[in-house]
Structure 1
């Protein structure tokens, strides 16, 4: 992956690779679930769902060795218990496939997932006898030319009786090209002993592992198509679903409308009737019913019902918009609440502020909330009118219905219903422009 992150910690649709696999596995309601960790063990452990156990493979000696480590963590098992083994880098695995893998029939010792691919390079080949029964899995590096021509590959997913698994793992050796303990050798050992093995076929994309950034991008695209298709089937409208990026953790209600180049991430919720996009990034935010958000960035913010955001607005964490409020063109907010019907239409910064209902914020208004050491609040009352280019030096309160004159620097509280103006008297000097031109001409004769 050429990344500082452990491979299984990379995300697809807002969820780590390994957690997609865990989600599929939990449909079995297993008694225990163990993730084998090695490189980046602490980072991987931190992203796992609560209750997930880990087993440390301090030295990596192959998949067979990793399985031994997992069995040691599980402790005593009944020989007839079913152990399901999955790879943590296969985010497109489905719960249906896992259930099929674990659906043991009478007399079966092992079930394994296989797939037929056009290019099997790099994968273990599934070897069958003349009757079609699985007798072995040969890794790509150990395969001869005839085996390399086989297009049925081993996906690396197994379910096996615990007793037979432990017994077979005790027989495998590292006598192979990589000097590792292969879990695939268990297949050959059980087949040679006459046990019944069953192959469960899957689509190649369902079992694809992630080993590079381009494969990660392919998985992202596949999961995005799946998420968007499900949302559209539920009643969400999308103009161009190929240009809509929605995490699996996001909730979008039927009746919402999503335009291109929209990114919805984390714990974001979009209500019915909302219009989102084009060009919106919303993370851990709520967009209320019948609101419109376009050309905007929202982070940990709440947009209420019937609100307007954008174009080119930035809502930083702590922004709350109540019904019918507006944050318009080139407006930035942080830790600010806009009351019902309040408006900041353009070119303003509101930080650590409370804006009362129906208040109007003129263009160029800034809440000067930081003195270089601490941050202070600004309170703007209901129905207040803040004139263009007003500097509100916090802490300061503008009373209900009060007005500030354009270009004012307000440093003291303004009483309800009052007008506050703070600017120098305008001075007019007759004939100044002509005298200035004359002085310039005299000093620069060449013009």
Structure 2
């Protein structure tokens, strides 16, 4: 029992020392022109750097050499590790690991960027979006409920809600390429490997397993059939 108590005391002492280091780091950041909103409930490792004019809200964890530029806003409940965040970015309640977010982009809420994802500038990554090993082009948008894995996305591409890159066949991973200016409708499945050309349009609800040339429209879904009065008949049974 005494041995267990000793281990517990050692762990407690270590945590108190680390807590003191976090508070000291936050105090130094305040002196350097970084707005740490709550120095007692913000956790920033010593080897992380944050630029002038950035604002860090409470309950944020920043670790392992993360580099944050100037005028960045990191809202509560965000976690950053081995990340590079460029100037003017806003991160809202999101997790970013081993990834780069370009200037003036907005990430979150509840986004997850991982495994060497690179978001170029002026991008919008929205609610419940996950990206893995993906290059996401300048000014492109992916607003909600989407998974992009092993993908190369051009500039000014728009993804509708519920898009999925199907990148794994059970044995191997494959890449998806989406050209500049493409529009990917809601609930589209992109079966990799596949290439979508510049300014292509993918109709909502399609499952795309063939390349789409520049400027083309692809639609891959069953056609709708309306049956007159069948709705009324069902309700009146």
TM-score category by the smaller chain? over 0.9
What SS is found at the alignment partner of 1:367?
strand
Shift of 1:249: 1.5
In the alignment, the residues of structure 2 paired with residue 286 and residue 381 of structure 1 have an alpha-carbon distance, to the nearest angstrom, of 25
**Equivalent residues of 2:29, 2:36 under 8 A apart:** no
- Which residue is 1:237 aligned to? 35
- Which residue is 1:257 aligned to? 55
Shift of 1:438: 4.8
- Structure 1's unaligned 5+ residue stretches are 8-209, 440-447
Larger Rg: 1
Aligned partner (choices 337, 341, 350) of residue 148 of structure 2:
350
TM-score normalised according to structure 2 size: 0.94
- Which residue is 1:282 aligned to? 80
In the alignment, the residues of structure 2 paired with residue 384 and residue 369 of structure 1 have an alpha-carbon distance, to the nearest angstrom, of 19
What SS is found at the alignment partner of 1:220?
helix
Shift of 1:431: 2.1
Aligned partner (choices 214, 224, 231) of residue 22 of structure 2:
224
- Which residue is 1:371 aligned to? 169
In the alignment, the residues of structure 2 paired with residue 366 and residue 234 of structure 1 have an alpha-carbon distance, to the nearest angstrom, of 42
What SS is found at the alignment partner of 1:346?
strand
- Which residue is 1:408 aligned to? 206
- Which residue is 1:308 aligned to? 106
What SS is found at the alignment partner of 1:318?
coil
In the alignment, the residues of structure 1 paired with residue 169 and residue 160 of structure 2 have an alpha-carbon distance, to the nearest angstrom, of 23
Q: Deviations over 1:91-131 (max 9, x none)?
A: xxxxxxxxxxxxxxxxxxxxxxxxxxxxxxxxxxxxxxxxx
If each structure's helix is expressed as a fraction of its own residues, which one has the higher value?
Answer: 1
What SS is found at the alignment partner of 1:228?
helix
Q: Deviations over 1:405-425 (max 9, x none)?
A: 000000100010110011111
Superposition CA RMSD, Å: 1.5
**Equivalent residues of 1:346, 1:363 under 8 A apart:** yes
The alignment status of 1:420 with 2:218, answered yes or no, reads yes
The alignment status of 1:339 with 2:140, answered yes or no, reads no
- Which residue is 1:322 aligned to? 120
The alignment status of 1:299 with 2:100, answered yes or no, reads no
- Structure 2's unaligned 5+ residue stretches are none
In the alignment, the residues of structure 2 paired with residue 417 and residue 255 of structure 1 have an alpha-carbon distance, to the nearest angstrom, of 43
In the alignment, the residues of structure 2 paired with residue 353 and residue 290 of structure 1 have an alpha-carbon distance, to the nearest angstrom, of 25
TM-score normalised according to structure 1 size: 0.51
**Equivalent residues of 1:231, 1:254 under 8 A apart:** no
Aligned partner (choices 358, 367, 381) of residue 179 of structure 2:
381
Q: Which piece of structure 1 moves more, 211-220 or 334-343?
A: 211-220
Runs of 4+ in 1 over 6 A off after TM superposition: none
